[in-house]
Structures are given as structure tokens and as C-alpha cells.
A and B are shown apart, each in its own frame.
Chain A
Amino acid sequence: MITLNAVTKLYNEGRPNEFAALHEIDLTLARGAMSVLRGPSGSGKTTLLSILACMARPTSGRVSIDGEIVSGLPERFLTELRRTTFGFVFQRFNLVRGLTALENVMLPTVPLGADYGQTRDRAMARLEALGLADKAAMPIEHLSGGEAQRTAIARALINDPPILIADEPTANLDTALAEKFLAILAEERAAGRTVILTSHDPRIWEAEGVDRIVTLRDGRIVEGATGEGAITEGAV
């Protein structure tokens, strides 16, 4: 269970350009479920994901994972959490330029001191599953948007994280690839992985396997806060 209690995020706190991206968010997301955050651009979806995944700290409020409060932990522990708990597909992919697709996928394994050959095989398998076997040796900047996105997905899954987070994962994918990706997500969820997505894409809201839809607007949850909001409740 991932729980946010009264989470507020201010950017540029105390400066004239201070901006509240999230207001007192209360939210609980179940383990093993697939949850989707939706809302207009700028509503705070990415910010919320960053806080969930311990990439950013809330200005106030608490984040807890399986009952343990993590929002106040020192950086060291947060690293550990990021490494062992979350796989994150970023909205802007955040791949390292100059490295190949394969090297990018292997990035999260470097500090683990894992066996290189085995890791490489695992990374290759991930890329293959996403139809990128022939792009593995290509520098990331030569990949198309969709290929880069799939590389980012492969990277998020390389360490087998219990929680997979994807920010607008289908934005650069055509229908066929988006469907393929959704099938992968459904598989992952069926295998017990927690999946948290944001999306503008109705294909995702309506996809099979989505358990929960949460709607954000202007940094507030306007629908689906308590989990009763089922898919049937319809669009925003």
C-alpha cells in the first residue's frame, strides 16, 4: 500500500514565483493493482508520481509505503527504495545520451555490482520482448520517440521492481505498440506487480486490467480519491 497524507508540493518555495503543484493530497493506492492518474496538463500528475516514487520530497505531508513513513528518510534510504522498489518510466524518458539502448537499460544494475554477463542477457531479453533487439547497440539519440520510450520501459523493468510507475507511457506509441504495451502491463499486473500510470490516453483508461482511476485538477484530486471510483464512473 502506498499512502499519501495531506501531501503538498510547492515549487520555488518562499520565492515570488512560488507555485503550489499539489494541495493537501490524500491518496491510497493498493498493491498489486493498476492505477491510472489522469487530468489536464499541469494538473500535477508528474509531480505526484515523483513524490510517490521518492524522487522528490513533499513540502508538507507524509508518504508511506506499506505503513512505513518514507518522506522524512535521509537520502541514503531513499536511494535504496528507488533501487529496490520502483521502476520509473519518465515522461521525457530521461535516457542518457551517448550511451546505447542496451547500456541505458543496464544503468540501474551498475551500482548493484551484479554479474555483467547475466545482466546483459537480462537487458537484452527485455529489449527483445519490446521489439528492440536490433536497436540494442544504437546510441539513444538515434532512436525514434517510440523506441526511446520502449527503451525506458525496459530500463524500468530491469531490476524487477515490485512497483512500476509510468508517466504518459503511450504518448509516443502508435495504436499497435500502445496495445502491446498495455498487454505487457496487464501481464505484469497479473504477475503481482503494482502499476501506476498517468495518461491522457482514453485507450489506457478503458484498458483491461485498470483497477482504479484517479483524476487530478489544479493539484487536487477531484475524483477517485477513495478508490470507489470505478472505470464505469466514466470520463472527466
Chain B
Amino acid sequence: MMIWARRQRALADYTLAALSRRKGKNIALVAIFSLVVFALSSAMFFAAALRHETTQVLRNAPEIVVQKLIMGRQDLIPGDVVDTIAGFRGVTSAKGRLWGYYYDRIDGANYTVMVPDDPALIPAVGHVAVGEGVPRARGLAWEGAPLFLSRYEGDLKRFDVDRTFTRDSALMTADLVLMNPQDFRAFFDIPEGLYTDVVATVRNQNEVATIVTKASNALPQMRFVTRADIERTYQKLFDWREGLLVVLAGAGLLAFAIFAAEKASGLSAEEAREIGILKAVGWDTRDVIAMKMWEGGLVSLGAFLIGTVAGFAHVFLFDGALFAPVLRGWAVIYPDFALTPHIDGVQLMTLGLLTVVPYMAATVVPVWRTASGDPDAVMR
């Protein structure tokens, strides 16, 4: 055991010397490898995070959302409609909501302003609770900094920030401003008794379609959006983007395959000669292979590590900046959002297996073929 460990150490030492001796070539190798892993892992992290966001969004989505449409635009809904909806058979509850988007001229960001459904979350008058994206966008780093929002009339309104949400799902919380209903109505000039939309819960999921059909007949001005509709919308959005990512990932894998195949195609005369020499001075075929495994392992694991860490940073710290050109469509719905760090362990392992293993194989197979010959024949 001691001898085995010492031998591995000696082989690893030799490997390090060998790697540093072909520094330029090996740096280039690690760079290409890392780049491929970077592209693949960025795509993977992004896709996984999107899927994670979807689940979050859907989990929080109400079963039915009712909007009032006039000339194709949303309009405020009077309180008696809420009561009507609550009265439909199969509907267990209906609630008027107050929410909307607020364009912040100061930092050019869009906030989602809403009165929370959960009474426990409703801030006191003159107070707000905000997602962490808001103070970030405003540059309000310090504790207890008040938030000034300008009304459409142009005057500034001061709010005290009660608390800041940390990330759970970035889509849900980052750009959120929670307000007291009284402040909300005053701020956006919405008279008492009117709501922006209505959410309804049903007794039985399977009845949603029937309820919606009936309700649409009774309230032809209203549009009923079910969770399934929301899911479809998101799915479309995500599918399209994931599709792009799959293409990107495919291209990355292809590049990697070419790269590995090139390596597997054979050793350079210099490398073959070195193997011949090692065998001639008493190295076993296994020693040579072990040495090359160290070499391949150090290169591929190192590159894998660099690539995934860079991919992680790219997606979660720099918001997938390099994907921005293809993914800009997001801004229409959720401007300026950051993905919640989310790692799919299985995917990460798959990526590792898809890159490290073929690379090791591509390294070792030609070495094994060369090393099992007579040293004399290999050396000459």
C-alpha cells in the first residue's frame, strides 16, 4: 500500500513535470476544454434555473385569474363582480387584487407593486416590503433607507422599507414592492371598490374548465385565465429558450467530440517515442497508463472545474450576460431579473461524465495501444 501510494505520487510528480514541459500546448488544451464545459454548463445551469423558476411561478399561481377587458385592454374590476364570481358553483373563494407595474424613472427598472393576498404580509400605511432587487436597483444599500417613489402626478411619495425579501424565486420576489391597500389606491389613484383583477379558487381542479365556460357566459366582459393557461405561456417561453440552449449545448458537445476524437486518433511521434523510452527503462504498460491517467485527469478535471465555476458565475452572477442577445425577450415580461442559483446535481454529474470520461478514454486508449508494443519498435 505504501509502495503503491509512493508510486502514484512519483507518477503524479512525473506527470506534473510532463505537463509543465509542454506548457503552451497544455494551457491551450485546458482553455479549449474549459470553454466547452463553460458553454455546456452555462446552458445547463440556465435551463435548470429556468425550470426551477417555472415550478416556483406555477406553485404560486392562482387557479383562476379574472381580468376585465375593454377594447382588448385590461380595466379595473368593480367589487360586485368579485361577489358574483364568488357566487358561482364550484368556486370556493374570489378575491379582488391590487397590483401593477411601476416604471421607475430613476433607475429605469420596472417594479411589480402589489397588495399581498396574505393579510399577515400587508405592511402598515406608509410602509413597504421590497424584493432585494429594488434597493439594489436604487443603490439603497443602507439599512432603513426610505424608498421614494414618484407618482404619475409627478410628486414624490415616501415609503419606509419594513423588510427586504431574500431570494426564493427571483421571478417572484426580486422586483416586488408590497404595499398597504390604502397606499396602493392613493399612489395609483384607484378609487375604493375597484380592483385590478380577481383571483378565484375552486373546490375541484377538474371543474375549472366547466366553471370557466359558465362564468364566461355570465360575464362576457371578463377574461378567465387558468393556471393551465399560465403554464402553457411559460412553457412556450421556456421551451423556445431551452431549445436554443439545447442547440448551443449540442454545438458544444460536437466541438468536444471533435476535440476528443482528434486526441484519440493517435499520439504524436514525440509522445510515442517518450512512451517507448519509459518502457525501455523499465516502466510497465500500467505505469505508463497510470501516468497518462494522471495527465488526462488533471487536465480534464481541472478544465471541468474551471468551466463549471465560470458557467455558474456567468449564469448567476452575471445573469447569463452572454446569452442576453437570444434571451432578451424576457425583458418584456420580467425586466431585469436575476436567476436564483439552482444546481441540478444529476445534470452536473452527467456533464462531468460526458466530458471527463470521453476525454480520459481518448487519452488513454492510444497510449495503451502504443505502450503495449515492444519498446524498441515504439522508440525508433
Contact surface of A with B, Cβ cutoff 8 Å: 50, 55-57, 75-76, 79, 82-84, 88, 90, 94-99, 103, 107-116, 155, 159
Contact = CB atoms under 8 A, between A and B. Distances in A.
Interface stretch (B30-38, B48-56, B137-145, B276-284): B276-284
A50 to B, nearest CB: 4
Contacts, number: 90
B83 interface: no
Contacts of A57: 374
Given A56-B377, A99-B17, A113-B7, A108 B372 contact: no
B152 interface: no
Given A88-B281, A99-B21, A159-B282, 14 more contacts: A56-B377, A82-B282, A83-B283, A94-B276, A94-B277, A96-B278, A107-B278, A108-B281, A110-B10, A110-B13, A111-B10, A112-B7, A113-B5, A114-B6
A160 to B, nearest CB: 12
Contacts of A115: 6
A82 B11 CA distance: 18
Contacts of B379: 55, 90, 94
Query: Interface of chain B, helix or strand or loop or mixed?
Result: helix
A95 B379 CA distance: 11
A83 B10 contact: no
Nearest to A110: B10
Which one of B9, B18, B270, B284 has the greatest number of beta carbons of chain A within 10 Å? B284
Nearest to B280: A55
Given A96-B277, A99-B17, A155-B281, A56 B10 contact: no
A208 B62 CA distance: 102
A50 B6 contact: no
Nearest to A107: B281
B3 interface: yes
A168 to B, nearest CB: 15
B2 to A, nearest CB: 8
B17 A111 contact: no
Given A82-B282, A111-B282, A98 B7 contact: no
A79 B377 contact: no
Contacts of B376: 50, 55-56
A38 B256 CA distance: 53
